[in-house]
A and B are shown apart, each in its own frame.
Chain A
């Protein structure tokens, strides 16, 4: 690579918690571990986050390569453009999911070379033995990405797991349909297990799976409890750090390492609260990151908010757990591990439905915002619209409009950029918009005084 083509070096972002600062090395070690696992002949699976199969692959000693994570790493290191351009040269539109484009560009390049592309970030993305997609009611790339990747790796099989959840409807309650949803998901997961057994030539250890499911339940509860500590004033941890601490939640679920990470985080947050140690000493504005994945190449914008006296005690993004004990079902009594996973999935996605029914005209997505706004004493809302992702970035405007209608008008800001494609980002413009938003917050605060 020529000197001028090298990605722009970034200074390490300052984190508020020790836990968040550990994440970079953890991810680097994990990615390096997958490359080594490949060399050692261990079974490797391309995997997506939030697909219900975390404990299943862990129980079978299959090494996950989290492809969204690798694209995010390339983005954070500002070294994704060459992979995006490679995908574009393969006739993939630049308007598609840039996680997928980065991954497909990388795969096309690696397969052509027969080795990792030059100076691949953190050693590169290991070639998989299998790819595990999913069909949900969000994220088309989850069933298109790996299918498209077979164009470059026709020998690598794909299994696509159907993982629907009931929509929030006015014409029926989700409990009327939940049983057949769970039954379907169990059948899909059973099919996945059979597929994996065939691929690796080993049978599932069902007792081990049950243990990992139970460990994941405990981890869910622990994450919920740790994150709830962030209600404190001053808040001990912001969304900038949460974009790091999400890593064990979505990439290490069902592992002791993941559980231990949150135990440490919980203890650290308790300690900080006892010492009244906040993200910043003088909180002026408490904000919610109310939707959208972050621009991985611009996480320092959270520090910029901090420099203006703004903190983010809470976010909806990557808060992919609820307390198991708050569900309306006693999951400890669901002993079949696949059925257990299926119920947890359905109950997670329908968690806010009942609450929404109680407020005329409301919706679960908005109800969740309202709950967080009240619990975390929020002054304003920030969202991010990433142009390449329709899964998480459609409905943000509508949510803000509905929030105003059923609850109250609040200062809000929708930033516009992308998750990986840095060409969509302008730091000066972004910060000018943040400045203007801070002015609005200040004006509202002044009126309240």
Chain B
């Protein structure tokens, strides 16, 4: 009997996997599968899958005060990363066989050795992804991916073939196609799926093998299309922008305050889940191109080629496109304290979006339920302002 048979499907299964995050990975571990933990959107999951691992996104817990992590990790680290580490120390991720950490931001890459040494896992690897995206950076990144491929191959005792990488690429592209289909359900008014439901689906999905995740998203799409439309009256359609939002606390707050969250630039979410790997003769070419150049994250430095206005379009044009596609009335920049990649971009993003005539609310948070009350007041005031426009 599969987990699905036991607990239903679609949104009810999403709820189970969201509430009991990692439960499916734990089951699969019991069946003899190897589970590889990873942080952030910049670990090429195709590689892990091709090597026979089930990739598992490590997330924090906004409801759990960070306690054990403080004995090893400074409190100036991004609170999300601290929470992830805390959860591991508290035994939530005992089923993991190793960890892969990319060169994402300082909070992730400067803590690599803390994860590596404190957890004493059978496998650990750091992918040294360049910040820049020019051709020599892409070439370097490909070499890094080949080093990763060799390292994983040695760990599992077999070469990771081109064919297995191509098959894995196809699986993830199928998954991304389903996520795009899911996002399209937000375009109507009212949306067919709430922001909370969508976020829970994507969070549940990153704890599953890719084929199960794709099937789950497909089931959610079918269920949502067949049910009665969402009827609660809401005053505005919002986009939420931020780093890794691995819980629905903030999105729930926004929707409880009287708005739909119909678009996002988040992980898991639009930033990492919508763009395909282009199939290439050498599968590493397509994978490298996607992870280095197609994920629009503040950690990646994009070279400016034209005017400053062109540069803003190059870096943030995808936000303007989503605002138009999803008929967004306002944007919330939800930024964690100690987040350098996004923190430095706030004035530019705010100014860019406002130049399109769309109001922006910027809030800083600490990845803790203790701040929810304060955030609610800010969001409500923003919605009042939108309503009076």
* A235 on interface, CB distance cutoff 8 Å: no
Q: Are B301 and A143 in contact (CB under 8 A)?
A: yes
In the assembled complex, how far is the CB of residue A136 from the closest CB belonging to chain B, in whole angstroms? 8
- Residues A171 and B131 in contact, CB atoms below 8 Å apart: no
Using a CB-CB cutoff of 8 Å, which residues 383-432 of chain A contact chain B?
385-391, 393-398, 401-402
Which A residues, 282 to 334, have Cβ-Cβ distances below 8 Å to chain B? none
Stretch at the interface among B41-49, B109-117, B202-210: B109-117
Q: Are A92 and B136 interface neighbours, CB within 8 A?
A: no
Question: How many Å lie between the Cα of A180 and that of B131 in the bound state?
Answer: 16
Q: In angstroms, how far is the closest chain B Cβ from the Cβ of A420? A: 14
Within 8 A of A (CB), among B137-173: 137, 139-140, 143-144, 147, 150-151, 154-155
Binds B, one of A9-17, A22-30, A151-159, A224-232: A151-159
Cβ of B301 and Cβ of A133 under 8 Å apart? yes
A93-B335, A138-B110, A171-B154 known; A100-B344 Cβ under 8 A: yes
Tell whether, in the assembled complex, residue A394 and residue B74 are in contact, meaning their CB atoms are under 8 Å apart. yes
A254 within 8 A of B: no
CB pair A151–B299 under 8 Å, yes or no, is no
Segment 74-107 of A: residues with Cβ below 8 Å from B: 90-93, 95-97, 100
Given contacts A140-B341, A180-B143, A184-B136, contact A171 B123 (CB under 8 A): yes
Asked if B340 CB lies within 8 Å of chain A CBs, one says yes
Interface of chain A residues 90 through 132 with chain B (CB within 8 A): 90-93, 95-97, 100
Residue of A nearest to B362 (CB): A91
A191 touching B128 in the complex, CB below 8 Å, given contacts A184-B140, A395-B110, A397-B73: no
B282 at the interface (CB under 8 A from A): no
Chain A CB within 8 A of B125 CB: yes
A154 (CB) vs chain B CBs: closest residue: B308
Task: Name B110's contact: one of A93, A144, A391 (CB within 8 Å).
Answer: A391
Residues of B near A391 (CB, < 8 A) are: 106, 110
A164 near B109 (CB under 8 angstroms)?
Answer: no
Secondary structure call for the A interface: loop
Contact with A along B298-331 (1 / 0, CB 8 A): 1101011001100100000000000000000000
Cβ of A436: which chain B residues have Cβ within 8 Å of it?
Answer: none
Considering the chains assembled together, what is the distance between the CA atoms of A187 and B339 in angstroms?
A: 30
The answer to whether residues A148 and B140 also contact, given A160-B303, A191-B134, A394-B77 and a CB cut-off of 8 A, is: no
* A32 adjacent to chain B (CB < 8 Å): no
Number of A-B contacts (CB under 8 A): 178
Q: Is the CB of B343 within 8 A of A164?
A: no
| Neighbouring B residues of A167 by C-beta, 8 Å | 112, 126, 128
- Does A351 sit at the interface, judged by CB under 8 A? no
Q: Find the A residue at minimum CB distance from B131.
A: A135
B77→A170 contact, CB < 8 A: no
Question: How far is it, in angstroms, between the C-alpha of A396 and the C-alpha of B106 when the chains are bound?
Answer: 14
A96: chain B residues at CB < 8 Å are 338, 340, 343-344
**Is B347 part of the binding interface, using a Cβ–Cβ cutoff of 8 Å?**
yes
CB < 8 Å: which of A148, A389, A396 contacts B344?
Answer: A148
Closest A residue to B309 by beta carbon equals A154
A21 at the binding interface (Cβ < 8 Å) = no
The list of the 4 closest CB pairs from A to B, nearest first, reads A135-B131, A154-B308, A140-B340, A144-B344
Which B residues are within 8 Å of any A CB, using their own CB? 71-74, 76-78, 103, 105-107, 109-114, 116-118, 123-126, 128, 130-132, 134, 136-137, 139-140, 143-144, 147, 150-151, 154-155, 298-299, 301, 303-304, 307-308, 311, 335, 337-341, 343-348, 350-351, 362, 364
Q: Which residues of A contact B (CB under 8 A)?
A: 90-93, 95-97, 100, 133, 135, 137-141, 143-145, 147-148, 150-151, 154-155, 157-158, 160-162, 164, 166-172, 176-177, 180-181, 183-184, 187-188, 191, 361, 363, 365, 385-391, 393-398, 401-402
6 new A-B contacts, CB < 8 A, other than A93-B335, A158-B304, A180-B140, are A148-B345, A161-B132, A171-B124, A177-B147, A188-B132, A398-B114
